[in-house]
A = this chain, B = another copy of it.
Amino acid sequence: MRRSIATVCLSGTLTEKLTAVARAGFDGVEIFENDLVASPLSPEEIRTRTADLGLTIDLYQPMRDVEAVPEEVFTRNLRRARRKFELMRRLGADTVLVCSNISPQALDDDALAAAQLRRLADLAQDFGIRVAYEALAWGRHVSTYDHAWCIVEMAGHPALGICLDSFHILSRGSDPKGIEDIPGEKIFFLQLADAPLMAMDVLQWSRHYRCFPGQGGFDVAGLLRHVIHAGYNGPLSLEVFNDVFRQADAGRTAVDGLRSLLALEESVGVLPLPAPVIPTGVAFAELATGDPQPVSKLLGALGFTRAARHRGTPVELWEQGAARVLVNTGTATRRSGTTLAAIGLESPDPAAAARRGEAMLAPTLPRRRTAHDVPLESIAAPDGTELLYCATSRSQLPSWTDDFEPLGDAPRPASGVTAIDHLALTQPRHHFDEAVLFHRTVLGLRPRDTVEFADPYGLFRSRALSAPQNGPRLVLNLAPGPTEEGESRAQHVAFAVDDIVTAVRRIQGAGGELLRIPANYYDDLQTRYEFPDGELETYRELGILYDRDEQGGEFRHCYTATLGHVFFELVQRIGGYRGYGAANAPIRLAAQRH
């Protein structure tokens, strides 16, 4: 199906928006009137620019408060419409959106609405223009799609049809099944938007919180199925606006939007794409640092052994159990600090995974390791983290470890780390929903519910994604600080241990520095849970945090000091605990600031 997007979705000038839409790979565009009015380009220039970019103008929008009004008002409205149709002819747009009337002047009279829309359609037809009538969820008398269709049917004019908008339909709780009763050729246009489920005035909800399909709580795919069954074959067009997009980079927003459309089409079975190849684990976490000494010291204290060195680049491999950490000193400067630069994902089929990434618009990165001819496909996540599709010592597939040369270092005493439990990635506010959609559609991970709470310096939001079975777990955190753009929050790597008490004692014995937790935390813990004798005292002594879920699963965890922009966590899961100790995050954040 053809894919389109409204210019109102994007930030910037009309020229910037059109360029972003074309670069992302859309077929067409809805021109939002305000964007045209504010543009120094004439309608003819916009027409040429759009065509040069390979885009069609699928809709001009909106016309407001046209129908169901007293005759003298309607006469003025028709005059207004004629001027718009003249402009649309210059622009080369052949479909106009007419929103149901919201003005106090509007009359509750369907016959009048139908008669006036018929006259409007008559005029439009003279210009070769079609009128698509849409029920706004907050329309004065017409606020549901079936009501709008009833009026369009009554008008019975070939140049008059209906525009469906998933937000207006689903926010009202209307049953979209009735869409199948509308003849497909009378559905002139389809606008798609999602939104988080909120109990809020629908106008505010629509203006500030719309998001791309798959980023909210509506069943947009279910609605699309009904529209396809009805026989609609026009474009799928995104019409999303929210306070975040208005400030975000237009190019990124456009790619994010197109990715959401591709995933939507795939989910309703109209677009065959290479299937996601879900990673089965984490092959490694890679730190980039210009100052390797403190990193080596901390990894050593954590019980990791420096096992191998890359043959071609200054990268060391540290190991403990199935946990592997690469330390790369070839890309970072001392000034940029230590960062979590890349994640190796254990992939059942790296080449197929790369094809999926490409189909889902993931930016492909240049292959950076080619010693011994081990190809490593890699892509960039929205936050810039490099994701590499790896095979580790599996038959049939070349292993990335073949590029590494074993070192003769004596094994360190292990602390009990068995694997990488999860990776926590801090996201810039503008890209949080984009990142969730990316990891879901590109990697095939499943997002869990969003967790939100107030931390001492701002609202903290967190959302985990994990493989349906075993596999990597990613935790996306959003934590705006006092200087929203300036302060970058640290990322972290969480290691699984079987017995955190033993592990911490070993680490402290080896000189590893752990985050200090305030005594008040343990006093409070005591008011919330009952513990076996001595257990709380052990936690207090060692700085171990504790959480318990509703099924009685338990979580014990602690943190190392922060190196640059990275720190480590040790986690012990007991009794099927599946969370990440989110309730303790404010304690951790406050302790890290002290």
Residues of A within 8 A of B (CB): 8, 11-13, 33-43, 80, 83-84, 87, 198-201, 204, 207-208, 241, 243, 246-249, 454-459, 480-486, 516, 518-521, 523-524, 526-528, 586-587, 590-591, 593-594
8 closest cross-chain pairs (CB), A and B: A199-B201, A38-B590, A83-B527, A37-B524, A40-B518, A200-B200, A246-B458, A247-B458
Complex Cα distance, B518 from A243, in Å, reads: 26
| Contact assessment for A80 and B528 in the assembled complex, using a CB-CB cutoff below 8 Å | yes
| Contact assessment for B456 and A11 in the assembled complex, using a CB-CB cutoff below 8 Å | yes
CB within 8 Å for A38 and B520 given contacts A84-B527, A247-B458: yes
Complex Cα distance, B374 from A334, in Å, reads: 57
Complex Cα distance, B527 from A84, in Å, reads: 7
Other-chain contact of A521, B11, B37, B43, B455 (Cβ < 8 Å): B37
Other-chain contact of A591, B12, B38, B586, B594 (Cβ < 8 Å): B38
| Contact assessment for B198 and A246 in the assembled complex, using a CB-CB cutoff below 8 Å | no
Which residues in B have their C-beta under 8 angstroms from that of A591?
38, 40
Count identical subunits in the complex: 2
Which residues in B have their C-beta under 8 angstroms from that of A527?
80, 83-84, 87
| Contact assessment for A590 and B485 in the assembled complex, using a CB-CB cutoff below 8 Å | no
Complex Cα distance, B523 from A516, in Å, reads: 66
Complex Cα distance, B36 from A580, in Å, reads: 23
Q: A200-B204, A247-B458 are known; give 16 further A-B pairs, CB within 8 A.
A: A8-B454, A11-B458, A13-B456, A13-B593, A34-B454, A38-B586, A42-B520, A43-B520, A87-B527, A200-B201, A246-B455, A246-B457, A247-B457, A247-B482, A247-B484, A485-B486
| Contact assessment for A38 and B518 in the assembled complex, using a CB-CB cutoff below 8 Å | yes
Other-chain contact of A39, B13, B247, B590 (Cβ < 8 Å): B590
Which residues in B have their C-beta under 8 angstroms from that of A11?
456-458, 482
| Contact assessment for A480 and B247 in the assembled complex, using a CB-CB cutoff below 8 Å | yes
Closest to A460 in B: B246
Complex Cα distance, B516 from A41, in Å, reads: 13
Other-chain contact of A198, B33, B42, B204, B526 (Cβ < 8 Å): B204
CB within 8 Å for A524 and B33 given contacts A38-B587, A201-B198, A204-B198: yes
Interface centre among A11, A33, A198 (most CB of B within 10 A): A11
Which residues in B have their C-beta under 8 angstroms from that of A456?
11-13, 35, 38
A-B contact pairs, 19 of them (CB 8 A): A11-B456, A12-B456, A36-B520, A37-B520, A42-B519, A80-B527, A80-B528, A84-B527, A198-B201, A198-B204, A199-B204, A200-B200, A200-B204, A246-B454, A247-B457, A247-B480, A247-B482, A484-B484, A484-B485
